[in-house]
Amino acid sequence: MTRKIETDSKGIPLKGAYLDQVPVIVFYTTMTTIFTCIAGFIANQAIVKSNEAAEVKISRVAEYDLGYLYAALIVLKIGQFLMASNAGNTRKYAKIHPPDQHVYQVKGAEGSKLGYVLMDYD
């Protein structure tokens, strides 16, 4: 069941999906930390703990000095987190609900069938 969203005369929602009291970066940081801790605990219990095959693979990573790959993975995850936080912050102030993701606008010459689509910021 979908709920009716109240809008103004231009169709812009009067209230967004994010809480006004909590900054988006705090919300995203909290949720990312919780999910990372849960996934790390499950991975440790299921794969690494008392598993000799996992110990052999970890020692092979150390032997070939491949730790930089894990550091690169962490850097990519931080980049993904920052992009998601930025998008969430933009959605909060634009009052766009997350399932809608973004607002796009067709730009180009009037009367032409050729145009291009850009994300609309206004």
Q: In whole angstroms, what is the distance from residue 55 CA to residue 109 CA?
A: 62
Residue 85 confidence (pLDDT): 92
Q: Which residues contact 99 (CB under 8 A, 6 or more apart)?
A: none
Q: Say if CB 97 and CB 4 are below 8 A apart.
A: no
DSSP structure class, residue 20: S
pTM: 0.62
**Low pLDDT (below 70) residues in the chain:** 1-3, 5, 10-11, 99-102, 109-112, 121-122
Q: Say if CB 85 and CB 24 are below 8 A apart.
A: yes
Q: Which residues contact 55 (CB under 8 A, 6 or more apart)?
A: 48
Residue 1 confidence (pLDDT): 41
Residue 63 confidence (pLDDT): 93
For 20, 37, 80, 96, 112, the CA distances from 28, given in Å and listed in that order, are 14, 14, 11, 17, 42
